[in-house]
């Protein structure tokens, strides 16, 4: 039997291992120089002014909400076709997460639906680059900014990706249509730090505040001290190298130097990861072209084809006409050594969202229909051409 191919997995080289081992032998396992080094290198790679590294993208999304001062009474609109965190971050801060339907081709937030379903209390839009393909960022941001809201791009699937807009090439994380952008470094993502995330922005205030909240809201920088009368306080008037202030309620969202050592090494390999993923997607697209009951991923803008950093390869399969349910298809694929995954169950249909916010079936019909047909196939750089053939052949046999 051929080897089992999961739907996603990390690629770890000897250089990655050596980078982590070097860190283990150094003075810092956390709060050391590799964190800043990783932030600088990542910001430079994506073309952002500031990057704040954290322990997950969920933390980065939470910090984005906090620094934008989104809270009770505010609404945050996002895509239902995403991982939970894109919506949960709004709930974390007491705001109302709400959902706008997706475009049937790219499966990303539909800017027309966004304008039509806008609500006056909306303070932010979380635009998710599903599978790695960029949203129509300029259209989404036009809608949001004209109505006084900010845009957070959830680019957790899209590290290393870019797109074409207004005839120009824009890097995800380095274009003018997102106020903040978040990335995930979970092992199934394009590059990994084990767990980890990054918030990038060109807004200095957002970056400074995110850095503060990442570590308990504590500062040791004397020019950031608030004091608030501590100069005359019999206990706190004494200043010295130990002195620190907590000026806001923060968290422990720090990433370790060990993770950043891996992140730096993976960043060096990002271009090759993106390139190989793109090659695999091209081979899959050829293999699944014009096959009955199967729809390969669509492109919103054909010009983006050479710039997308693909995280997922999601086919749409007409299970009803096939006469086999998805569970059976997944089991039969598994028997052929092919892992698959269903991404995503529309977030508004999760029990929490139904009971807390009254959301339900019919609210986002395009995302609900997409969910019924979606099946993500193995996609990671270490898939060999023989592995790819195994997947194509297996799927065509099972979906015959
Ligand atoms: C679109 C999206 N947003 C956010 C996250 C959260 O990322 P993390 O696991 O790093 O917290 C994920 C992770 O799967 C994701 O896919």
At 22, which CATH number? 3.40.640.10
Question: Does ligand 1 lie within 6 Å of residue 179's CB atom?
Answer: no
On whether both 291 and 389 belong to a single domain, the answer is: yes
On whether both 262 and 130 belong to a single domain, the answer is: yes
On whether both 220 and 336 belong to a single domain, the answer is: no
CA nearest ligand 1 atom 8, residue = 57
How far is ligand 1, taken at its centre, from the CA of residue 364, in Å?
21
Cross-strand partners of 256: 30
Q: What is the pLDDT of residues 206-247, one digit of tens each?
A: 999 999 999 999 999 888 888 777 888 888 888 889 999 998
Question: Does ligand 1 lie within 6 Å of residue 58's CB atom?
Answer: yes
| Ligand 1 atom nearest 61 alpha carbon | 4
CA nearest ligand 1 atom 16, residue = 83
On whether both 278 and 254 belong to a single domain, the answer is: no
Closest by Cα among 205, 108, 113 to 154:
108
* Beta strand 50-54 pairing with 180-184: unpaired
On whether both 279 and 391 belong to a single domain, the answer is: yes
The residue out of 225, 252, 268 marking a domain boundary is: 268
The residue out of 242, 268, 294 marking a domain boundary is: 268
Flag whether 1 is in a domain. no
**pLDDT for 355:** 98
- Of 76, 83, 158, the residue with max ligand 1 atoms within 8 A of its CB, to mutate for a pocket test, comes to 83
Flag whether 172 is in a domain. yes
- Measured distance CA(68)–CA(124) in Å, rounded: 9
Question: Does ligand 1 lie within 6 Å of residue 184's CB atom?
Answer: yes
How far is ligand 1, taken at its centre, from the CA of residue 83, in Å?
6
| Ligand 1 atom nearest 184 alpha carbon | 10
How far is ligand 1, taken at its centre, from the CA of residue 15, in Å?
26
The residue out of 238, 268, 298 marking a domain boundary is: 268
How far is ligand 1, taken at its centre, from the CA of residue 128, in Å?
10
On whether both 282 and 370 belong to a single domain, the answer is: yes
CATH number at residue 386: 3.90.1150.10
**pLDDT for 225:** 87
Number of domains in the chain: 2
Q: What is the pLDDT of residues 51-94, one digit of tens each?
A: 999 999 999 999 999 999 999 999 999 999 999 999 999 999 99
On whether both 277 and 263 belong to a single domain, the answer is: no
Flag whether 116 is in a domain. yes
Flag whether 224 is in a domain. yes
* Ranges in the chain, pLDDT < 70: 1
Helix (H, G, I), strand (E, B) or coil at 180: strand
**97 near 122, Cβ under 8 Å?**
no
| Ligand 1 atom nearest 129 alpha carbon | 1
Flag whether 5 is in a domain. no
Residue 289 structural domain: 271-345+357-398
* Beta strand 75-78 pairing with 96-99: parallel
On whether both 167 and 61 belong to a single domain, the answer is: yes
On whether both 133 and 44 belong to a single domain, the answer is: yes
On whether both 310 and 370 belong to a single domain, the answer is: yes
Sheet strands (E) in 100-196:
122-128, 150-154, 162-165, 168-171, 180-184
Flag whether 323 is in a domain. yes
CA nearest ligand 1 atom 13, residue = 83
- Of 57, 253, 312, the residue with max ligand 1 atoms within 8 A of its CB, to mutate for a pocket test, comes to 57
**pLDDT for 173:** 98
- Of 99, 109, 185, 186, the residue with max ligand 1 atoms within 8 A of its CB, to mutate for a pocket test, comes to 186
| Ligand 1 atom nearest 195 alpha carbon | 10
Flag whether 4 is in a domain. no
How far is ligand 1, taken at its centre, from the CA of residue 145, in Å?
25
Question: Does ligand 1 lie within 6 Å of residue 376's CB atom?
Answer: no
CA of residue 88 relative to chain centroid, distance: 13
**pLDDT for 400:** 87
**pLDDT for 1:** 54
Closest by Cα among 136, 241, 257, 239 to 196:
257
Question: Does ligand 1 lie within 6 Å of residue 197's CB atom?
Answer: yes
Phi-psi region of 174 (alpha: psi -120 to 50; beta: other; left: phi over 0): alpha
How far is ligand 1, taken at its centre, from the CA of residue 156, in Å?
6
**73 near 51, Cβ under 8 Å?**
no
Phi, psi of 50 (to 5 degrees): -125, 145
How far is ligand 1, taken at its centre, from the CA of residue 344, in Å?
12
What are the CA-CA distances from residue 230 to residues 67, 213, 216, 219, 239 (Å)?
26, 22, 20, 15, 10
Q: Where do we find the tokens 């054909």?
A: 302
On whether both 258 and 291 belong to a single domain, the answer is: no
Flag whether 352 is in a domain. no
- Measured distance CA(264)–CA(351) in Å, rounded: 39
On whether both 307 and 193 belong to a single domain, the answer is: no
Angle at 39 between CA 38 and CA 42, to 5 degrees: 80
């Amino acid at each position: 039997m051929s080897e089992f191919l999961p739907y996603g997995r990390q690629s770890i080289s000897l250089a990655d291992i050596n980078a982590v081992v070097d860190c283990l032998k150094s003075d810092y396992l956390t709060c050391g120089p590799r964190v800043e080094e990783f932030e600088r290198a990542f910001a430079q790679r994506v073309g952002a002014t500031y990057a704040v590294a954290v322990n997950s993208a969920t933390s980065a999304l939470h910090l984005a909400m906090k620094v934008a001062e989104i809270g009770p009474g505010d609404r945050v609109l996002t895509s239902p076709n995403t991982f939970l965190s894109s919506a949960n971050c709004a709930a974390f801060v007491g705001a109302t997460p709400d959902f706008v339907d997706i475009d049937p081709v790219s499966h990303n937030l539909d800017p027309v639906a966004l304008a039509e379903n806008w609500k006056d209390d909306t303070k932010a839009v979380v635009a998710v680059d599903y599978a790695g393909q960029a949203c129509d960022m300029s259209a989404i941001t036009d809608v949001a900014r004209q109505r006084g809201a900010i845009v957070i791009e959830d680019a957790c699937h899209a590290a290393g990706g870019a797109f074409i807009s207004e005839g120009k090439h824009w890097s995800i994380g380095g274009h003018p249509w997102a106020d903040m952008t978040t990335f995930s470094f979970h092992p199934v993502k394009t590059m990994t730090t084990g767990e980890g995330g990054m918030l990038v922005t060109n807004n200095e205030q957002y970056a400074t505040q995110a850095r503060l909240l990442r570590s308990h809201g504590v500062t040791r920088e004397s020019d950031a001290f608030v004091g608030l009368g501590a100069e005359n306080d019999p206990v706190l008037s004494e200043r010295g190298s130990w002195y620190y202030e907590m000026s806001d309620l923060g968290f422990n969202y720090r990433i370790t130097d060990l993770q950043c050592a891996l992140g730096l090494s993976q960043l060096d390999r990002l271009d090759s990861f993106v390139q190989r993923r793109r090659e695999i997607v091209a081979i899959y697209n050829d293999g699944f072209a014009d096959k009955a009951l199967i729809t390969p991923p669509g492109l919103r803008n054909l010009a983006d084809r050479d710039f997308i950093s693909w995280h997922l390869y999601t086919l749409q399969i007409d299970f009803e006409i096939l006469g086999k349910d998805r569970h059976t298809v997944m089991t039969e694929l598994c028997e052929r050594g092919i892992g698959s995954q269903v991404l995503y169950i529309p977030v508004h249909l999760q029990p929490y969202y139904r009971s807390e916010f009254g959301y339900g079936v019919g609210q986002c019909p395009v995302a609900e229909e997409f969910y019924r047909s979606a099946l993500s196939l193995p996609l990671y750089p270490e898939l060999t051409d023989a592995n790819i053939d195994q997947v194509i052949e297996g799927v065509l046999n099972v979906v015959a």
